[in-house]
Structure 1
């Protein structure tokens, strides 16, 4: 058995001083008869609530994990049954330890694994306790049963955390360095052959497309449990990442449904989501996400929903020059007149000359609009009908 697990198995734990449950053999057998169903429900809930496990729990691997969950629950029932001798925990701890190592090798975070443990414990307790009550256990036994469930899960999750840490310490550091180099190569626009070579060194399978996501550093760890396990999450500073923000490069198929799933997973965060682009071009997604951060919108921001604002904010100096040129004919007017005529000109071009719409937006009488537009015609002449001027005024005043 792994040395770290041996130490864990011999150290004091909640199970060493556990409250004795002493379930009747008949109750234990009834509960054993439900283990397959309980394990299936636990795994289904994990898939639903921790998206990074969806692919890992399908096919042969899914069957293996379902069987492991069922065996762990069986070991728990042995602990809960009658008998003066406590069954050994070492096999269960070793299995949990190796599970943690495997999760580290497959690129999933410890946060995702611990979330899976919490969900599995909740679902298992709900189903097993209902069955136990139906089988006739009393309130005192039910309380002890609950204590044992969560102490048992604490033991297993601690062993998995140790395995995850050991794997990262032994093999993960090199891979993490390679992933950092890959992320830097992608964000700095390195040559395609250099990026491909970096992906190969990191043993990272390139997706069809990538989406850059910028979010507060405090939200990054939780968000990483909700999205694709192969997401690149560099921890070192990268050029162009705003202060206090973390960068995620999320794999995508490029479909609208994939983007919808990502946005749904990030609800409740302050993430700014760039466009989905071919993976070698993710610097474009990153740059647009950075510009979208500067818009100052609150909550979850989909950059694709703010394209017009991003275009208008792309070159503020040029836009200021354009605005000055568009409003040049008003230079000799009084400040109050300039303000009124500017807002009228803006509304006039945006509403394509519809007087009633302009009046409604400005909260003035249509006759007032007529008077102001006549002033504009006197100042601008035929330019009010020139498509090029209308375009420039729209951009300058939008």
Structure 2
């Protein structure tokens, strides 16, 4: 059996967790949390990195930080995880869904400007599969209309756009360390702050609305409640699991990119024969091999292929159902202009096994099954045509 995912284990996690247990400091913002934060700030060259219990919490923290309120409009793609939407709905915002690009499955930057109104407060750029949105265009629009850009970079740690790490281009960035991600601690996340004016208040909101961070730094003698907030601190135990993975970020990234490239080469002939589509990586984008997906003709082909692979020991999965088609999406948002690609492309996409340490022979086996499926399908079609004649 080839599973769809295997959570990463470097072999050093237990050592770091034991160190935390020995110190007795297991709540948030201990030494390992600080080391993780420093790694992000040094590696990504961001102004501040605040670890959170999940990417969902990072997005929620961002929404509070921006004072999102009832009547505000947030531009997002419909092809994304529900957390991207929930963070802003919880603050009373209205969602404005914009269609995606056919090639990258990211928000179509050419359609954003027409969706902007005097109620628009922010644009959320979701980097699907660790492949960057067209950030230059998005940031120019944000500057022109005085909007904030939040990068939902849940998939995108170590990915780059024009040489700059994703999560560090918008005003704020959000990462996920869920067990399905390239680097994880079971559940975890981070808010990346790229605009210094947000740092102090973000630390307050993250500490339940108190100035406890200043107290811990020795800047004040007693901390008090001064703003709204919540408990957005990652456990020190989770940080201990994450830290050794960050130290191996480059080799982990290289391993995933090697697997991604092996898939691409093995399946390229099927793309040339118009049997399926492979991921597109735009110029000036360096992705991180988070997801390898194929797009087939329609849902019927996808269902058949997934069943065939499952029967032969390979686990695959689909991805997001467009948010605007859900009951909640209809209640709290609207789709701006026409849904040309969001629904149709989401019905074609199929994700193949991808994880650190995925064996090359398993990739070739999976690719051979996909080739065999389409070859058998073609043969069946010829037999049927012959019979009809």
TM-score between the two structures when normalised by the length of structure 2: 0.25
Which of the two has higher C-alpha Rg? 1
The structure with the greater share of residues assigned to helix is 1
Greater relative contact order structure (CA < 8 Å, 6+ sep): 2
